[in-house]
Structure 1
Amino acid sequence: MSEQQQKKDTESKSAATIPTVLKYVFGGTAAIAASCVMHPMDLVKTRMQVASSGGGKAVSPIEVMKMAMRNDGIAGLYKGLSASVLRQSVYSTTRIGVYTSLTEYYRELYNTSPTLNVTVLMAAFAGAVGAYAGTPADLGLVRMMTDARLPAADRRNYTSVFNALSRIVKEEGVLALWRGAVPTVGRAIVVSVAQLASYTQFRRCAKSYLGMGDGFSLHLVASIGSGLLTATASLPVDIAKTRIQNMKMIDGKPEYRGILDVLLKISRKEGVLALWRGYTPYVLRVVPTTILIFIILEQLNTAYFKYVLGEEYKSKI
């Protein structure tokens, strides 16, 4: 074989990649699996966020879990799981797919990897698109998880996410499916930017200052750092989203006028620290979820390269 042919084969091999469609599928699969594992913590976090919205006292994560199991047994910890799966199927698949497509388009156009500023912009856009598409499922998720804490007469008693969505359309109108879309998109932008940008920086710092090489340990350290930063930055917006999606009409008017109104009312009535209510279960959800998503995603990518392309996979995350 000639030297020129060998060079061409090498370049062709190095250019081998996973089809964009499979990147959507792998990303969505990883997010769904992680969501199923961490759903109980998501339920605890959500119920703690709305615990004081009606004037009730704050409750601890343990109390929330006990109450959920007392009412419905172990199954009580998985209320709204179908909505969570649907949300990840739409939100995470869309977000990862859009981000991947934009990244590949940039590389093809400029023949180089995106700069940090460009990466942040692409992550923000991808998060916004994914969140807007996933808002209906997110609305159903919040309502299903918080239904059990309402008085029996006020409970919606949705039987599934599809029952929830159909009833919302029938009882409140189609546009009600996007109630809370603005804070949902805002949270997604914060989460996407924080995860992508900070994960990369934590990886670089771990390599430079701790002398860590590529592998599970590096991935674990970077994921923990990214998860903690993401949880701290996004929780106030997440609380606002939850309150808006769970609010009721008072004298014919919505309880909140928007995300800023929620944040101001919470700060004034419950104290500024209430914006981080449920921080512990939120961190216990975000950090392990981040780790699980990346681990599962890496394993799917590795398997594809090994069994389909016959090559060794090198992470580009």
Structure 2
Amino acid sequence: MSSSSSSISPPPSYSPRSIDHMLSGACAGIIAGGATHPLDVIRLRQQLRAGWQWRYPGLCAALMKEAIFSAGRIGFYQMCTGGDQRRSFARGDSAIRFAAGGAAGVVGTVLSHPLELMKVVKVASPSNPSYIRIFRNLFRQQDLFRALLPAVQRSVVFSAAQLGSYDVCKRKVRAMDPELDYRYAVLLSAWLAGIASTILSTPLDVAKTRLIVSDFRGTYDCLRCIAQYEGVRYLWKGATATWLRLGPYTLVQMLVWEASLESIRRQRTSSV
């Protein structure tokens, strides 16, 4: 395949460093999170069974959360898996990719959880309080890490499914057609990763959202109560909005991530 057939075709002489992936991940998270924030608000309101409003609060907290979450998650994932997205890996390494994705989700969630709380409170509150007031109340009540465990549980599943399946699918796609434009391999792999992460993580995402604003004894108790009193189908409440968000979110995030790495590669190699 000629270098002109794809705009994502970096020279093999430079392998991105962890900081490169962190910067690219932060950029990808901000752009993807900002583009899909209205759908995220709809998802939260469906999960909270709140009424429809033509407002999309929480954008500032969402963007800051995405920057920290994506930088920590992607940076740690690449530290565990070797750094270069283009490098091939053996069949037995697939399990490592999924495990690394789950561990990376823990890192990103712990770093960004207070901002996630602020976003959910902003969306859920009809009075639309200021971020300063929300932070002050959470800090005073020592609730900056409220519902951290369910958030970590959800993120482990989500990140393992998204990052792991993205890498594995991309390897499979490129193995089936080595001449395929790299951009198409990224698009197809990101689309499949979005489906996998939505199906697997939605019940835990519903529990995480409910636990932030309601009193349950834990994730299992929350899931049990939802299934018992509202119906099993409500465990996937907001799944359509989640998919409508995670599909474009994953596509945009992976494309921006890869394009940012491409730009960094070119700058590094041209400076040598």
1:38 CA displacement:
0.3
Q: Is the alpha carbon distance of 1:29 and 1:283 closer, same or farther for their aligned partners in structure 2, counting shifts above 3 Å?
A: same
Deviation of 1:208 after TM superposition, in Å, equals 5.3
**Partners of 2:167 and 2:40 in 1: how far apart?**
26
Distance 1:104 1:229, change over 3 A: closer
Q: Which has the larger radius of gyration?
A: 1
Unaligned runs of 5+ in 1: 1-12, 53-63, 70-75, 106-111, 149-154, 248-254, 312-317
Alpha carbons of structure 1 residues 21 and 208: separation in structure 2 relative to 1, 3 Å: closer
TM-score (norm 1): 0.74
Offset of residue 207 of structure 1:
4.2
Between the aligned residues of both structures, percent identity stands at: 26
Write the deviation string for residues 119-170 of structure 1: whole angstroms up to 9, x where unpaired.
222221111121122111111111111113xxxxxx4x3212x442222112
Hey, what does 1:219 align to over in structure 2?
186
Say which of 169, 180, 190 aligns to 2:139.
169
Q: What code does the residue aligned with 1:178 have? A: F
Q: What residue number does 1:39 align with? A: 37
The separation in 1 between residues aligned to 2:164 and 2:79, in whole angstroms, is 18
The answer to whether the Cα contact below 8 Å between 1:206 and 1:212 also exists between their aligned partners in 2 is: no
**1:310 CA drift (Å):** 2.8
Aligned counterparts, 1:1-317, within 5 A:
14-51=12-49, 67-69=52-54, 76-77=55-56, 79-104=57-82, 115-148=93-126, 155=127, 157-160=128-131, 162-170=132-140, 172-173=141-142, 176-207=143-174, 213-247=180-214, 255-310=215-270
Measure, in 2, the Cα distance between the counterparts of 1:166 and 1:234. Answer: 30
CA RMSD of aligned residues (A): 2.3
Unpaired runs of 5+ residues, structure 2, are 1-10, 84-88
- Greater relative contact order, per chain length (Cα 8 Å cut-off, separation 6+): 2
Residue 18 of structure 1 deviates from its aligned partner by 2.7
